[in-house]
Amino acid sequence: MPFLLVIPSIDIKNGKTVRVVQGIPELNCHEYGNDPIEMARIWRAENAKMIHIVDFDAIGIMGNLNLKVIEKICHSVIIPVEYAGGIRSLDDAKKAFDCGTCRIVLSTLAYDNPDEFLKIFDEFGPSKIAISLDVVDNEIVIRARKYKTGISPNDFALKLKGYGVERFIVTDVKRNGMLLGPNIELSKSIAEVTNKKVTLSGGIRNKDELMDVQMFMNSGIDSVIVGRALYENRFPCQKLWRVAEMGIFQ
């Protein structure tokens, strides 16, 4: 029987591991250590099966990918590393994969430049590309979550499904980093309307809420990205993942 995959998030800003409230560095940025590479090693030691990296240094207009850091993270752990942040071209995508990432996450590019997005998608295929749906008040936001598109998440997801996208990472931005609980209905809606896989991101506070999400795996929600709750020790990591391995999350 499948179990819910819990993916720790490492947010990088100014080369450090941080917690970014609602995914917007200007709102609040709390450091959790100087070394994201060491943090990746810690999560691996805690028995994580995958790591999600958000590179806030690359998201800005003139940002550059933290290629050396990403490469060291990928080479320091033996689990898949997913990368999000600042991919603007096929060349950027190639560089991210050359570092060893297993999958890249795209958002703004799919809206602003669908031709370039399709170049990347055609080059690497659906197993290597995920789409991040960042949502505020049932509206897709892009460009570091600062620009409202006027498009509903369901409509945007259906458009991208038409391109062949197989996975969506769904974030209720108002809950991200706020410990307000997950917006399960939003992720469930995307999973059901597209019939594709969904990773729920943002809001998880404790193990009980993971159990709540687990109940919707049949709808297509197969994983969650967790940040602040893990960094603040709101549930024991090793026990959590070993419980999942034993199939108790059923």
Query: Is 11 one of the annotated active-site residues of the chain?
Result: yes
Domains of the chain: 5-244 (3.20.20.70)
Nearest to 49 by CA among 105, 98, 2, 97: 2
Q: Tokens for 151, please give them.
A: 């498009």
Catalytic residue among 11, 55, 57, 92: 11
Catalytic annotation, pick one of 57, 134, 172, 222: 134
Query: 68 vs 10, 64, 72, 74, 197, CA distance in Å?
Result: 15, 11, 6, 10, 30
Q: What is the pLDDT of residues 1-13, one digit of tens each?
A: 468 899 999 988 8
Confidence of residue 66 (pLDDT cuts 50, 70, 90): confident
In the predicted model, is pLDDT for residue 225 greater than 70? yes
Q: What is the pLDDT of residues 120-158, one digit of tens each?
A: 999 999 999 999 999 999 999 998 888 999 999 999 999
Q: What is the pTM of this model?
A: 0.89
pLDDT category, 229, cuts 50, 70, 90? confident
- Which residues does 32 contact at the CB level (< 8 Å), separation at least 6? 17, 18, 19, 39, 231
